[in-house]
Amino acid sequence: MSLRVTALSQGCDLTEFDEKESISGVQQLKSSVQKGIRSRLLELYPYLDNYIDQILPKKDTFRIVKCHDHIEIMVNSAGELLFFRHREGSWMPTLRLLHKYPFFLPMQQVDKGAIRFVLSGANIMCPGLTSPGARMSSVEKGSVVAVMAEGKEHALAIGITSLSTKEIAEVNKGVGIENCHYLNDGLWQMKPVK
């Protein structure tokens, strides 16, 4: 099952994210809305099935933090940032959550030369995914993926594929993955929301 995302990150800029200026409101979710989000997450990320009760316990209360540029962040009762989305798009995990449960997103690995560009917020270009140090999992266009780096253990970014992996290999130029959230961006640095 491929992970489909509607034009999620058009204009989604998490680099200039400042929690004092960026948060416009916090809303507690009704239990019926929480159930809907849980089932949608399991649809998108089937590998979460055995872990969903650890990530989103049924008895916990969850809130949506509304931010600038139509970004929403789901937090638990402890304020831990779990998932985010842009303009009613699909929920994507934060890197902190992905580091705890690294298996639930398909992984695309960039070569060492791409690391500094990815960490500065650049999109991942096709040549960075097809070079000798890179590896790709087979996914469709519009899939949410973890961006790994050659020689590193944890994901350094989360993005959405602009092309299928087959097309990335064939075309081998242009943007292959749109970078939505990366290590040390504003969302990574954001403190828990109490």
What is the mean predicted confidence (pLDDT) over 69-74?
Answer: 91
| Res. 107 pLDDT band, cuts 50 70 90 | very high
Residue 25: its pLDDT value, please?
Answer: 87
R_g of the chain, CA atoms, integer Å: 16
Q: Which two structure tokens, joined as six digits, stand for 27?
A: 């809303």
Which domain does 163 fall in, by range? 107-182
The answer, yes or no, to whether residue 118 has pLDDT greater than 90, is yes
Of 97, 131, 151, the residue at which a domain comes to its end is 97
Is residue 80 domain-shared with residue 131, that is, in the same domain? no
Is residue 163 domain-shared with residue 144, that is, in the same domain? yes
What H or E segment, with its residue span, contains residue 171?
helix 165-171
Q: Is residue 188 part of a domain?
A: no
Computed over every residue of the chain, the mean pLDDT equals 88
Residue 21: its pLDDT value, please?
Answer: 61
- How confident is the model over 166-186, as pLDDT tens digits? 999 999 999 999 999 999 999
Q: Is residue 13 part of a domain?
A: no
Of 97, 117, 152, the residue at which a domain comes to its end is 97
| Res. 1 pLDDT band, cuts 50 70 90 | very low
The answer, yes or no, to whether residue 159 has pLDDT greater than 90, is yes
Instruction: Find the DSSP H helices in 23-59.
Output: 31-44, 52-55
Strand partners, 64: 27, 74
pTM of the model: 0.87
CA-nearest of 155, 110, 117 to 133 is 110
Is residue 61 domain-shared with residue 32, that is, in the same domain? yes
Of 57, 79, 97, the residue at which a domain comes to its end is 97
What is the mean predicted confidence (pLDDT) over 61-71?
Answer: 90
Spatial contact of 165 and 136, defined as CB atoms under 8 Å apart? yes
How far apart CA 35 and CA 75 sit, in angstroms, is: 15
Is residue 85 domain-shared with residue 37, that is, in the same domain? yes
For residue 111, the domain's CATH number is 3.10.400.20
Number of domains in the chain: 2
Q: Is residue 123 part of a domain?
A: yes
Q: Is residue 9 part of a domain?
A: no
